[in-house]
């Protein structure tokens, strides 16, 4: 159970403060408890889940209750989630309320500056690893292989590094090498997939994000339509020009 879930249960927020269970009573209890404990900041993780699979009216009700909680408690709210979390901005008041917006895009190599930024990220990750890398993560050939394996998704890059470290430790190695990454890729992908850590560099295909997953609102009904993320496939020659 996540810590904040335990806090909700211990503060009896799941119980209605009125005669019978109701969402309004739950909102009242959240406000009451937040004031009592002196809550200073509310962080809502995976906030897109508040709005997925809801009607327009339901989404508006959720946004109205969040406004009530924020106003009554003078409480700043941080929303953390996927790009589809922007559904909260359907409400013009929330569009004005959200003072700071930050997006962590997938890594996409479009110019020399983007390449430098990518290598800076890899250098920072390399410094946190408890074992050295036989081939530095910032080696351009290896960095391109890692990009191909992860499609530029930072979370997947970190998972690949962590899994390769685990393989190296299991074999009592004193460094992490390309064989460890190749073994990890084979374990998590289909057997017939091209392994970017073993294929010739000229045969690599790199997928880069073209558009992110999102929900599109129907202008007439307010219903949501899910749009999958789209990647563009590039050869190594197309990528480096």
The predicted-structure confidence for 156-209, as pLDDT tens digits, reads as follows 999 999 999 999 999 999 999 999 999 999 999 887 889 999 999 999 999 999
Looking at the structure, tell me whether residues 125 and 199 fall in a common domain.
yes
Give the residue numbers spanning the domain of 125.
112-206
What whole-number distance in Å separates Cα of residue 204 and Cα of residue 143? 12
What pLDDT band is residue 26 in, cutting at 50, 70 and 90? confident
Looking at the structure, tell me whether residues 79 and 38 fall in a common domain.
yes
Tell me if 235 is assigned to some domain: no
| Pairing status of strand 205-211 against strand 77-80 | unpaired
Through-space distance between the first and last CA atoms of the chain, rounded to whole angstroms = 49
Question: What pLDDT, on a 0 to 100 scale, did the predictor assign at position 24?
Answer: 67
Give the tens place of pLDDT for each residue, 195-213: 999 999 999 999 999 999 8
Count: domains in the chain: 2
15 neighbors 29 (Cβ within 8 angstroms) = yes
Can you say how many angstroms the Cα of residue 231 is from the centroid of all Cα atoms in its chain? 17
Can you point out the beta strands (E) in the chain?
Answer: 42-45, 77-80, 205-211, 214-217, 224-227, 230-235
Tell me if 92 is assigned to some domain: yes
pLDDT at 114 over 60: yes
Looking at the structure, tell me whether residues 12 and 48 fall in a common domain.
yes
What whole-number distance in Å separates Cα of residue 60 and Cα of residue 169? 51
190 neighbors 177 (Cβ within 8 angstroms) = no
Whole-model pTM: value is 0.75
Looking at the structure, tell me whether residues 91 and 149 fall in a common domain.
no
Tell me if 227 is assigned to some domain: no
Rg of the chain taking only CA atoms, in angstroms: 23
What whole-number distance in Å separates Cα of residue 129 and Cα of residue 127? 6
């Amino acid at each position: 159970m996540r810590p904040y879930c335990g806090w909700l249960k211990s503060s009896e927020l799941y119980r209605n403060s009125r005669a019978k269970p109701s969402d309004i009573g739950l909102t009242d209890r959240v406000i009451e408890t937040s004031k009592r404990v002196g809550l200073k900041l509310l962080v809502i993780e995976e906030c897109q889940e508040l709005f997925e699979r809801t009607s327009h009216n339901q989404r508006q009700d959720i946004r109205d209750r969040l406004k009530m909680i924020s106003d009554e408690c003078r409480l700043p709210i941080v929303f953390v989630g996927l790009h589809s979390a922007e559904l909260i901005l359907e409400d013009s008041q929330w569009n004005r309320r959200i003072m700071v917006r930050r997006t962590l895009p997938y890594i996409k190599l479009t110019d020399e500056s983007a390449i430098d930024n990518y290598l800076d990220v890899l250098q920072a990750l390399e410094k946190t690893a408890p074992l050295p890398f036989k081939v530095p993560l910032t080696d351009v050939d290896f960095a391109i292989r890692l990009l191909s394996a992860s499609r530029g998704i930072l979370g997947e890059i970190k998972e690949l590094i962590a899994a390769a470290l685990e393989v190296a430790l299991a074999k009592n190695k004193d460094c992490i090498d390309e064989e460890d990454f190749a073994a990890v890729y084979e374990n998590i992908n289909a057997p017939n997939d091209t392994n970017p850590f073993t294929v010739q560099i000229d045969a690599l295909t790199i997928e880069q994000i073209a558009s992110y997953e999102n929900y599109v609102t129907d202008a007439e009904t307010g219903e949501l339509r899910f749009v999958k993320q789209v990647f563009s496939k590039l050869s190594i020659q197309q990528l480096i020009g």
